[in-house]
Structure 1
């Protein structure tokens, strides 16, 4: 590829775009954009990283624009010119969506619940609080640990448990729920629900009279629940991007009546939400449109819960001008963020970057 000549110069733009939008691994796009200035310009101008993220998670269609918070990048173009401003916006989108795609595929899968927010009802607060569902055991310090709804004579009355996740953006793959078995009652009854359903969304940025304080952007199918005292797995048909970091469990239908009062209850001793928290990213909701601003807080990958990765494993490979462009972290990612900067001598012939 002498003098920055490659196949994209000989193909119609529509065909080149079709080829690159067929890629499934974002690292391929990032590698290609690191080959030369024209390759990078092609990827950025056509928003290929954004297109890939939208294909992976259609919920991102609600993004109004992107911001980089606390991120300083060096520039060299004429600040204030319309061409510069337009190109800067395209580059910013490329960096944000490339980093987001990286997070989808390479961040560690882990427990995603940060805290319990509220239950629709509680029988004996705080002894039977929703907070008890965060503990994996059904006994804590010798006492039963579980959440209990209030009793109802109608077994069709539903209940909800609402949780805050540990990032504004989380890719959720499955939810695990363990119904409580009352080992201190006759016949050891299990107070499960008949079925469960899951909602994901965000808190309203402005509320009137605190009514409908949550906006749900995703509602799952209904899953049947077994009347068994075990951690029951509810795997979503496909990974779902939770925008806003709020997850609600709907417990539909009551199975078990309590002998002492003849009322139906639902009791849960543990809830686990499994997925990928995208903690380097945040959102700002734009009302009343319900669109949102996608914000990148850091371009640093969070350490996995099993082992903290040493920064020394990141090896800077390419520096052109005053911006570091290419890093290698062993996961097939060569470009993290930055830009291929023009050489100081404008007449100097471009030298392509060797990424092998």
Structure 2
């Protein structure tokens, strides 16, 4: 122990890289870069933070280059006399990938589902639209909340639901789906699918003339779905990085026929997409037609939303219903005030003139006049 040797000086670079890449915690790579100037240069020039991120999420091989926002970013630090473009690029990548690796492990795991985009079919729009699936409750104001497909005589006809996630960069671990149980129909039928499959991807360029507006870069295995009224968990084999922030759920096969018309339906009450959103710290820019992308670090101080922070759910149908309820409540208040005024005037007339009592002795006649008012 009296003789302390730096293995970087005694081993070839490849062996030194293998040793340092045994570190799994992103913070350990950063700590290693702080041991000495030599270690810092070695970690940065060999892109060890980037290699760690690629090991965690191979989808990052599509990164064309990284950029930092001009606001709140550190300027490259001079090391020795080297100011070459290669050093500046390596230093920038080290900062971006180090913070990205930290986000993969430290950002809160939460529901990353933000907005329903479209459904392959909807039976009764907007009352049964995809927007209802973002609401965890199956009843709102004594009204059922769910998405329903159109009826089909062929039970093999599939359906799809497309969602926008909370960020353009999300590490997804599992997707949870709850089929809808029609509590208002005889027998309480559950309109589940036979199985589900998931696709992750990004939106195409607005100038792209293709009919399909999305590019799906990942397709999962097929998961069987139970015909049960519960939030069912479909865990991905390994965490997947969604680049572009869009999810498509394929609902394959139908099991429940509606008694009223004899057709098969699929109905979903709630959808959760569990994972870590890297927004607003990171953003991406898709490069077409190569399908590569630019990784943008927007801030090194911003993190994902706290675990307990409420997340707004966009549901235009529920918003319209809430507005209608406000109007109804205002009318009810107005009617109550009018009732008090009329009742007060009646009491005054009754107390002021005993000869007019006969006018109000007939309850039916009075009720009729009051209902009209």
| 1:124-273 alignment runs, 5 A limit | 124-209=124-209, 211-273=211-273
Name 2:59's counterpart in structure 1: 59
SS class of match (1:293): strand
> Take 2:186 and 2:25, find their aligned partners in 1: how far apart are those partners?
56
**CA apart distance, 1:205:** 2.0
1:74–1:57 CA distance, 2 compared to 1 (3 A):
closer
1:304 deviation in Å?
Answer: 2.2
Equivalent residue for 1:72? Answer: 73
Cα RMSD (Å): 2.0
Partner residue in 2 for 1:298: 299
- Counterpart in the other structure of 1:283: 284
Q: How many angstroms does 1:108 deviate by?
A: 0.7
Once the two structures are superposed, what CA deviation does each residue of 1:159-206 show, in whole Å capped at 9, x if it has no partner? 011110001111111111110111111111110000000100100124
Aligned to 1:29: 29
| Contact 1:195/1:222 (8 A) holds in 2 | yes
1:237-287 Cα distance to aligned partner (Å, 9 max, x none) = 111111111011110000111111111110001111111001111100111
Equivalent pair of 1:207/1:213 in contact (CA under 8 Å): no
Q: Greater strand percent: which structure? A: 1
- Residue by residue over 1:43-80, the C-alpha shift from the partner in whole angstroms, topping out at 9 and shown as x without a partner, is 000000101110111000000000001343235659xx
Per-residue deviation at 1:129? 0.5
- Count of equivalent residues: 304
Distance 1:131 1:28, change over 3 A: same
Partner of 1:326: none
Change (3 A) 1:271 1:303: closer
1:5 deviates by 7.2
2:195 counterpart SS class:
strand
Give the Å deviation of 1:26.
Answer: 1.4
SS state at 1:197 partner: strand
> Counterpart of 1:288 in 2: which secondary structure?
coil
CA distance in 2, matches of 1:223, 1:207: 35
In structure 2, C-alpha distance between the alignment counterparts of 1:304 and 1:238, rounded to whole Å: 24
Q: Indicate conservation of the 8 Å contact 1:53/1:97, yes or no.
A: yes
**Separation in 1, partners of 2:186, 2:247:** 34
The 2-side partners of 1:307 and 1:218 are apart by 30
Task: Please give the alpha-carbon distance, in whole angstroms, between the structure 2 residues aligned to 1:5 and 1:296.
Answer: 37
Higher mean alpha-carbon deviation, 207-216 vs 90-99, is at 207-216
| SS of equivalent to 1:260 | coil
Structure 1 residue runs of 5 or longer lacking an equivalent are 309-356
Runs of 4 or more consecutive aligned structure 1 residues displaced over 6 Å after TM superposition: none
Q: Are the equivalent residues in 2 in contact too, given 1:77–1:84 (CA < 8 A)?
A: no
The 3 A distance-change label for structure 1 pair 86 and 71 is farther
SS of the residue 1:126 aligns to: coil
Q: Distance in 2 between matches of 1:58 and 1:305?
A: 27
CA separation of 1:5 and 1:93: change in aligned 2, threshold 3 A: farther
- In the aligned structure 1, how far is the partner of 2:134 from the partner of 2:180? 13
Helix, strand or coil at the partner of 2:74? coil
- Name the SS for the 2:84 alignment partner: helix
TM-score scaled by length of structure 2 = 0.78
Q: Is the 8 A contact 2:193 2:251 kept in 1?
A: yes
Larger RCO (CA under 8 A, 6+ residues apart): 1
Q: Distance in 2 between matches of 1:66 and 1:201?
A: 20
Secondary structure of residue in 1 paired with 2:49:
helix
